[in-house]
Amino acid sequence: MAITLQKKKEIIESLNDKLKDAGSAVIVGFKGLKIADITPLRKTLRDGGVSFSVAKKTLFKRAFNDVKIEGNLPPMDGQVALAIGKDPIAPAKSIAEAQKKYKDAVYILGGVLEGKFMSAAEMIALSKIPGREVLLSQLLNVMQSPIQGFVGTLNAVTRDFVCTLDQVAKSKN
C-alpha cells in the first residue's frame, strides 16, 4: 500500500530530527528477518540508547540530503534500516552484536559519523572500539602504572634491608 505524501513528510521530519542530534548512524541491511526477530532487536537497541527506523530508501536519501551529510552515500542494497544513537559508538556496536546473533539476516552497509558518510568497513572498525567505561579504566591503569612501580621499588628496598638484617642475625647465632 502506498504511503501518503503527508506520512512521507512526517517520516522525513522524524529522521531529520534524529540525524541532527545523532552522534552516529548505521545504515543496516536486513533480509529474511522475521517480525518475531525484529521486535527483540528493536528492544535491545532501544535499551542501548539506539533507535531503529525502517523506511523506503528514497526517504532515507531525502533525510540525508536535508541534513547535508558530506561524502558519498554507501550503496543501499535490499531492505534498509537506520540505527541512530547519540553515542558515536553505540549504534555500530549494537548492530555488530545483532549481526552475530542474526548471522546473515542483519549486516552493516555503511553509516554516518560526524556529518560524513562512512563505508561499511569503517563502521565495522568503529564497532570494535571498546566502550567509554573500558577506555576510561584503561587510561586510569596507564596513569597509575608509574606510581605502582615506584611504590614497588620503595617496598623492595625496605624488604631487601630487612632480609639482609635477618641473614646477619642468623649468621651470628
Domain end (from 114, 129, 144): 129
Is residue 93 domain-shared with residue 30, that is, in the same domain? yes
- Within 10 A of 138 (CB to CB), how many other CB atoms are there? 11
User: What element of type H or E holds 171?
Assistant: helix 132-172
Question: Is the backbone of residue 49 left (phi > 0), alpha (psi -120 to 50) or beta?
Answer: left
Residue numbers of the chain with a pLDDT score lower than 70: 1
Is residue 159 domain-shared with residue 123, that is, in the same domain? no
d(CA 22, CA 91): 10
Note the pTM of the prediction, 2 decimals. Answer: 0.72
Is residue 81 domain-shared with residue 106, that is, in the same domain? yes
d(CA 5, CA 141): 56
Strands 106-113 and 116-119: what pairing?
antiparallel
Instruction: List the domain range (segments joined by +) for residue 139.
Output: 131-173
The predicted pLDDT at position 1 comes to 57
The predicted pLDDT at position 3 comes to 76
Any idea what the CATH number is for the domain that residue 61 is in? 3.30.70.1730
In total, how many domains does the chain have? Answer: 2
The tens digit of pLDDT for each residue in 40-81 reads: 888 888 888 888 888 888 888 888 888 888 888 888 888 898
The length of the chain in residues reads 173
Is residue 30 domain-shared with residue 71, that is, in the same domain? yes
